[in-house]
Amino acid sequence: MESEKFTRQTLLEVNTLTPSLFTLRCSRDAGFRFQAGQFARLGVTKADGSQVWRAYSMVSAPHDEFLEFFSIVVPSGEFTTELRRLKAGDTLLIEKQALGYLTLDRFADGRDLWLLASGTGVAPFLSILQGLEVWQRFERVVLVYSARSAAELAYQPLIKGLMQQEHLAEFADRFIYLPTVTREQVAGCLHGRITEFIANGQLEQKAGIRFDPQASRVMICGNPQMIDDTRALLKQRDLQLSLTRRPGQVAVENYW
Ligand SMILES: Cc1cc2nc3c(=O)[nH]c(=O)nc-3n(C[C@H](O)[C@H](O)[C@H](O)COP(=O)(O)OP(=O)(O)OC[C@H]3O[C@@H](n4cnc5c(N)ncnc54)[C@H](O)[C@@H]3O)c2cc1C
Going by DSSP bridges, is the β-strand pair 190-191/21-26 parallel, antiparallel, or unpaired? unpaired
> Cα(first)–Cα(last) distance of the chain, in Å?
28
How far, in Å, CA of 144 to CA of 188, rounded? 13
Q: Identify which has the larger pLDDT, 98 or 246.
A: 98
Question: What would the DSSP string read from start to end of the chain?
Answer: -GGGTEEEEEEEEEEEEETTEEEEEE---TT----TT-EEEEEEE-TTS-EEEEEEE--S-TT-SSEEEEEE--TT-HHHHHHTT--TT-EEEEESS-B---SGGG-S--SEEEEEEEGGGGHHHHHHHHSSHHHHH-SEEEEEEEESSGGG---HHHHHHGGGSTTTGGGGGGEEEEEEESSS--TTSEES-HHHHHHTSHHHHHHT----TTTEEEEEEE-HHHHHHHHHHHHHTT--B-BTTB--SEEEEE--
Which tens digit of pLDDT belongs to each residue from 139-198? Answer: 999 999 999 999 999 999 999 999 999 999 999 999 999 999 999 999 999 999 999 999
Quick one: pLDDT at residue 3? 56
157, amino acid identity: P
The arithmetic mean of pLDDT across residues 28-40, rounded, is 98
Average per-residue pLDDT in the chain?
Answer: 97
Which tens digit of pLDDT belongs to each residue from 197-247? Answer: 999 999 999 999 999 999 999 999 999 999 999 999 999 999 999 988 899
Ligand 1 contacts CB of residue 70 (under 6 A): yes
Which tens digit of pLDDT belongs to each residue from 176-190? Answer: 999 999 999 999 999
Ligand 1 contacts CB of residue 75 (under 6 A): no
Residue nearest to atom 5 of ligand 1 (CA): 56
In this structure, is the dihedral angle defined by the CA atoms of residues 216, 170, 61 and 32, taken in order, positive or negative? positive
- Closest alpha carbon to 70 in 187, 154, 144, 190: 154
Question: Is the model's pTM score more than 0.75?
Answer: yes
Closest ligand 1 atom to Cα of 99 = 1
Ligand 1 contacts CB of residue 124 (under 6 A): no
